Amino acid sequence: MRRLIPLIAAFVLPVLSGCGDDVQPISEEAELTPEQAGVVTKGFTWEIVGPEAGLPAEGLVSVALTPEGLVVVGGGRLMERREGRFVPVSDPLLPRNLSRVVFTDGVLWALGDGAVYSSDIGHRWNAAGLPAREGGWVCHGAASLAGEAYIATDQGLLHASAFDPARPVAFTQLDPLMGKESGYRTVSDVTITEGSVWAVSPDKRGYLAQYLREHGEWIIRASYDPFRRVAASGDFVWVSTDGLGLWRSTDGGETFNEVMNGGAWDRVNGIGIGKGSIWAASEGGAIYNVFATNVWEHHGVQEGLVDPVMLDCAYDEAANTVYFATASGLAVGTKEGSAPAPPETTERTGGDELEHE
């Protein structure tokens, strides 16, 4: 089984110095294709929620789960579920052309032509103070942790080092992560863990970058591949791509494996991560993996789902239920029983033998 090899230590550079254009692509053969993953219909059900529940006829592009319930984006509008129905959220601060909603570290973000955030799940909003720029900013992702926040935009990363979600905060633009010679590129997603910040770029010369918070250094883990989303839980880091399937690290990002690839599954649009398992939204249906056992499943048309093209997802681990944004509305998948427990140890590598149902 071939594995993705991270860039060597020589590419560890001073903060924000980038690494130029000489980094080579590192795409390898996937561990398994959808045909090799388990197709499980027993104990799993789908429900489609659409206009009858107040959702727009054109469907959804993004979904997030908060302690107060679901928040979605569709038709350029932000909506929240109240007593089984979705109602529009109205606030003059909400950006135009809304395209994504994110809930992270207790903060709800609404992203589009600008970014706003809320510390009380949408009851009051604050506009992110973005640098002055002709034409404004298109914001694709956001993350915050322990007084620090990042926004992924069409011109690199924006950063706030003294972030307080209860008030307006000014953000500054970081230098290009691939070096000033390469210029600014779109960053499609960002996530923060206790030790790292992860950022991904989606174009053909895109990158997967890791910021080591303890050392104050950025590392380009991979480049010249189109990355879309990134999520992390413990030592597990997951990266979705536009054409190269799903990538996984089990050692905190030291190494990555291309673990799911094939056909419509090559384009993975979203990741919903829990402590013991993960769901991913692909254009071929839903991908599911249990960390401790490395069991894989995929769900979609084989269970009667009419529209398997999934654009985003959110995972309710407590209810063992996953929500997917689709052009047909909200696809709700429920598994019987409890969600998997976290693995006892994360010392195993991505090359461990796979088990399939």
Contact assessment for residue 100 and residue 111, using Cβ atoms and an 8 Å cutoff = yes
Query: Does 204 fall in a domain?
Result: yes
Higher per-residue pLDDT: 64 or 225: 64
Residue 225 has pLDDT above 60, yes or no: yes
Contact assessment for residue 140 and residue 111, using Cβ atoms and an 8 Å cutoff = yes
Within 10 Å of residue 109's Cβ, how many Cβ atoms? 24
Higher per-residue pLDDT: 264 or 313: 313
Average pLDDT of span 76-104: 96
What whole-number distance in Å separates Cα of residue 47 and Cα of residue 262? 26
Query: Does 136 fall in a domain?
Result: yes
Average pLDDT of span 120-128: 96
Query: Does 190 fall in a domain?
Result: yes
Query: Does 1 fall in a domain?
Result: no
CATH number at residue 299: 2.130.10.10
- Look up residue 198 and give its two tokens: 């992860």
Residues 6+ apart with CB under 8 A from 296: 32, 36, 37, 38, 260, 287, 288, 289, 354, 356, 357
- How confident is the prediction for the chain on average, in pLDDT? 85
- Stretch among 4-13, 40-49, 55-64, 141-150 having the lowest mean pLDDT: 4-13
Average pLDDT of span 217-230: 92
Query: Does 352 fall in a domain?
Result: no
pLDDT in tens, 111-123: 999 999 999 999 9
Question: What is the sign of the dihedral through the CA atoms of 120, 121, 123 and 127?
Answer: positive
pLDDT in tens, 158-215: 999 999 999 999 999 999 988 887 889 999 999 999 999 999 999 888 899 999 988 8
What whole-number distance in Å separates Cα of residue 245 and Cα of residue 240? 6
Residues 6+ apart with CB under 8 A from 147: 161, 162, 163, 164
The domain of 143 spans 9-337
Residue 9 has pLDDT above 80, yes or no: no
Query: Does 244 fall in a domain?
Result: yes
Query: Does 2 fall in a domain?
Result: no
For residue 128, CA distances in Å to 45, 97, 118, 194, 210 come to 40, 16, 10, 23, 23
Number of structural domains, the chain?
Answer: 1
What whole-number distance in Å separates Cα of residue 106 and Cα of residue 225? 31
Query: Does 302 fall in a domain?
Result: yes
